[in-house]
């Protein structure tokens, strides 16, 4: 029922968010404007050995300049047979180059730090972001590299692609593809691929928006979880 609350609220929401996320995994080119503040909540459910595990993120975004955006996250996780617990922190910067629509593609870069609650495990993440708008068609391509260290060393490459069509200025339907290539130390841990539909709804001007993406595994992975992943992303501009 809570997933439908943002849908109802968008009908009554006025006002604009340059940082509006059209896809749940693929970042677009835009950033929160200078002095702007946005609060986002991620709710992610995925299969875990026949059950469903949950992850929640609350993010505060701030526009340092019109092209540079900062974000701080708090993360909580709930295993399929366990209780919700605090899982760590994240801090990130996103910088977009030039102006939208000037070059063949719109380009941005993204850097993130990931820390465990006790700061005994750390991660760094770098992402190249490419976006393109052609009339009502929207595309976002991300190329991400992630390194986690503390209890061993893990590497991950995660390219994602989002394609969508704006049926109205406030309603987009599309699809998203997410690929993970992982290593534990120097040993390959697997290649995983998910794909599925996405829907994006926004109030007039994007002051409140909601994105919902459902992904299904398309590879015969060696692990039996993550057969599906559902992410709901809700944001409010303050």
Q: What is the pTM of this model?
A: 0.88
Domain boundaries, the chain: 2-237
| pLDDT one-digit tens code per residue, 51-79 | 899 999 999 999 999 999 999 999 999 99
Superfamily of domain 2-237: monomeric porin ompg (2.40.160.40)
Predicted pLDDT of residue 48: 81
Q: What is the pLDDT of residues 178-233, one digit of tens each?
A: 999 988 877 777 888 999 999 999 987 768 999 999 999 987 654 545 889 999 99
Token pair 């992402």 is found at 127
pLDDT at 109 over 50: yes
Count Cβ atoms below 10 Å from residue 189 Cβ, excluding itself: 16
Exposure b/e, 206-224, CB count within 10 A at least 16 = b? bbbbbbbbbbebeeebeee
Tell me the average pLDDT across 129-154. 95
Give the rounded distance of the alpha carbon of 128 from its chain centre: 14
């Amino acid at each position: 029922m809570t997933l439908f609350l943002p849908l109802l609220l968008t009908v009554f929401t006025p006002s604009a968010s340059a940082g509006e996320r059209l896809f749940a995994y693929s970042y677009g080119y835009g950033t929160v404007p200078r002095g702007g503040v946005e609060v986002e909540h991620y709710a992610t459910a995925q299969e875990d050995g026949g059950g469903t595990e949950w992850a929640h993120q609350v993010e505060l975004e701030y526009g340092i300049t019109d092209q540079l955006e900062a974000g701080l996250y708090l993360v909580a996780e709930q295993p399929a047979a366990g209780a919700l617990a605090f899982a760590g922190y994240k801090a990130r910067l996103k910088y977009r180059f030039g102006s939208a629509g000037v070059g063949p593609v719109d380009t941005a870069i993204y850097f993130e730090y990931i820390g465990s609650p006790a700061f005994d495990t750390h991660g760094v993440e770098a992402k190249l972001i490419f976006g393109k708008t052609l009339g009502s068609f929207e595309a976002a391509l991300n190329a991400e590299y992630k390194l986690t260290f503390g209890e061993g060393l893990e590497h991950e490459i995660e390219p994602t692609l989002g394609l969508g069509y704006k049926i109205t200025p406030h309603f987009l339907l599309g699809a998203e593809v997410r690929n993970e290539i992982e290593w534990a130390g120097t040993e390959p841990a697997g290649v995983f691929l998910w794909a599925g539909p996405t829907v994006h709804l926004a109030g007039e001007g994007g002051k409140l928006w909601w994105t919902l993406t459902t992904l299904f595994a398309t590879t015969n992975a060696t692990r039996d979880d993550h057969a599906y992943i559902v992410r709901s992303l809700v944001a409010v501009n303050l």
